[in-house]
Structure 1
């Protein structure tokens, strides 16, 4: 189990480093990965030498973590470079530069000609947004002033004016500054000329890629499901028909992950946001898959759309998880609590590690479940339990996770960054009490807190969406927090 945990952590860490910082630093990815993995290597070595029964001293956990983070940051900064000129990176660079309080000299590269500045100023009616200053960045024009009307009305009118004057040359971003005053950013729309070319071929390529990855994931999850069902690998080699024992787990897990991503996909389509089909990630070990994802191919128009697309996945996945988990729990075996009982052991799972899991287990098993009971999960229940974990992980209010998008849409970018930082710290503290959360805590530390903004990132949500967002946070707590002793006595478990 230690080997698979370390392998999973290593792969996940490498992918995060590769996708988040490889394009903005010259420091080799393998070196950054090695520095980040050092604490895990140290703790794994301790476990192999002294066994899992003997806990490592706190200093062996805290100091390697602090030193590795410090060394990682030094290595990152020593090789820092300006990112390549892709559209999303250009937007991020422009927005970060506008939030910088220091003044910089005007750069010679201007997205518009000097003669066009008057036309640009005319796009901002004084009764809507009184423009006071225009700043030129290498790949952006920043327009600062005073908002004179409602944010959404101002964005729609100025967007129409910009399109009328400049066509599709620019994407218009409406962002709240560090001083609380909203400002506009015009970013060259480098994808405008490419939007209608090779669209059909691109769709066919997406469909073929998505189908291929789905079939491969079905194979890998079926293989892992057979082992979860108790079929040894040597028996599988001699009799391939035994693979059918892995189909319940495979279909259950793929259904949950697929519906989660389809929730994102169809909501994005509803808001006219281009996105890819769901792509599964097959792996021939551990759970058989690292999950699934979709890629957004066009900007998100406003915070309402950001909220809807972000929350649709966890809600859809959770709705798909509930019936599968209840059926699987009802067909699981109740076993006595033992030293092997834990959150990561499906053969002896203590349901009291999660409030929601305990409630669902009691609902499915009734009086069979007692205070001294653990669960030997049915393969369908394993898939459902993983569905809960996927829902909880995605609802973490950090950066580019679904939960990070949700709090960004609810509270704005600045508050979302603060919430993400606090969430990281709380989960890291919780991991010292419950080591099962150590992997989550480490992963969250390296997920960027800054979330790419919507085009209109100022207009706030309505009350219904705010309430739904708070319910999503409550669902996260129900999954993550252990069952309180008072409630355990009431449920008699």
Structure 2
């Protein structure tokens, strides 16, 4: 039986810990930079050609095109930097709220994926118990509010970089993916149009990839604010009322599945996710009531949900649409 070298054994723990703390987040971020820049390059090429963001299925898998035109990879930097800024702002909001309350948490993990944005979003892993409702509220609300503010800046820049789409669009340029509107997009456009009357509306715009990145930021914010499970909205609702959170445990997933039938098929997936036992919210001590400041923060989160939510984020993608 071989002996274990105590010196080697003692070195393994800090190396493993260092990898989990810094190495894994750095690698995931680096890969996400590549995937988001790749999809952003295809979006930018379409924008420069006067085409909608996604014209055909090849736009969602740009790698063959990039192999043929590797110099165009750099076209994706505006989209990538804008989107990653929003994601990191959101997750660092959670991270620093955890630090403020002495809660152990990982650095943000940005998850690369073959999706419309090149990512599956970003997460942090909380590694210690949340001590009370006030800490839970701070952790839950900080990410969406900071991420929403970052999205507002990106959207404003995106509107200014966009231009009015040619009318009417040719049949060849008809997009295969549409982007639903939201109150935030209308408000930002109205504010900009006061100073820059030529600013095109979201529906009529030939959308710059930065505007698309801002749209993705709003979409992610609205998904996170769904008041169920361990989503940010679930944390906020649990901090307000654990009883109400438990009461929505089955009602909310069913409502989402119904929304998938009539509005967007993706709601079905989110409804099913909330049925998974791992999504149940862990117990948090509730003896300490929320103060006025945190009640106001929860109201702000509700307003953000209303301003970002779209029942049909991708128009024409309901279950009824596909079975007709």
- The verdict on a shared fold, with TM-score over 0.5 as the criterion, is yes
| C-alpha deviation, 1:291, in angstroms | 1.1
Match of 2:29 in 1: 214
Equivalent of 1:440 in 250, 267, 271: 267
Q: 1:421 to 1:199 in 2, by over 3 A?
A: farther
Please name the residue that 2:220 is paired with. 390
State the 1:476 CA deviation: 0.6
CA drift at 1:207:
0.2
Distance in 2 (CA, whole Å) between partners of 1:442 and 1:380 is: 27
TM-superposed deviation, 1:312: 0.9
Confirm whether residue 328 of structure 1 aligns to residue 158 of structure 2: yes
CA apart distance, 1:422: 3.8
Q: Is the 8 A contact 1:355 1:478 kept in 2?
A: yes
Alpha carbons 1:279, 1:293 under 8 Å: kept: yes
1:478 Cα offset (Å): 1.8
Question: Cα RMSD over matched residues?
Answer: 2.9
Structure (1 or 2) with the larger CA radius of gyration = 1
Residue aligning to 1:244:
74
Q: 1:458 to 1:355 in 2, by over 3 A?
A: same
Give 1:298 shift: 0.8
1:28-49 CA-partner distances (Å, limit 9, x unpaired): xxxxxxxxxxxxxxxxxxxxxx
Number of the residue aligned with 2:96: 266
Distance 2:19 2:174 in 1: 47
Matched, 1:361 2:192: no
**Alignment partner of 1:291: what SS?**
strand
TM-score (norm 2): 0.76
Q: Take 1:250 and 1:371, find their aligned partners in 2: how far apart are those partners? A: 23
The counterpart of 1:315, out of the listed 133, 145, 153, is: 145
Identify the match of residue 296 of structure 2 among 462, 467, 475: 467
Partner of 1:26: none
- CA shift at 1:475, angstroms? 1.3
Normalising by structure 1, what TM-score?
Answer: 0.51
Q: 1:312 to 1:371 in 2, by over 3 A?
A: closer
Q: Does 1:223 align with 2:53?
A: no
Aligned to 2:286: 457
Shift in alpha-carbon separation, 1:443–1:417, aligned structure 2, 3 A:
same
The 2-side partners of 1:341 and 1:218 are apart by 29
Greater alpha carbon shift after TM alignment, 417-426 vs 311-320: 417-426
User: How many angstroms does 1:424 deviate by?
Assistant: 3.4
1:256 aligns with 2:75: no
CA contact (8 A) 1:324 1:381 kept: yes
Q: RCO (CA 8 Å, sep 6+): is it higher in 1 or 2? A: 2
1:234 to 1:342, Cα distance in 2 relative to 1, 3 A: closer
1-side partners of 2:182 and 2:68: how far apart?
40
- Cα distance in 1 for partners of 2:225, 2:150 equals 16
Which whole-Å deviations, capped at 9, do the CAs of 1:217-249 have from their partners, x for residues lacking one? 101111111111126755522442211100111
Partner of 2:56: none
Q: 8 Å contact 1:396–1:402 — kept in the other structure?
A: yes
Unaligned runs of 5+ in 1: 1-196, 483-493
In 1: Cα distance, 2:102 partner to 2:140 partner: 15
Partner SS, residue 221 of structure 1? helix
Three-state SS of the structure 2 residue aligned to 1:230 is helix
SS of residue matched to 2:205: strand
Residue in 2 that maps onto 1:282: 112
Q: Give, in whole Å, the separation in 2 of the partners of 1:372 and 1:410.
A: 35
Partner residue of 1:417?
A: 246
CA contact (8 A) 1:398 1:421 kept: no
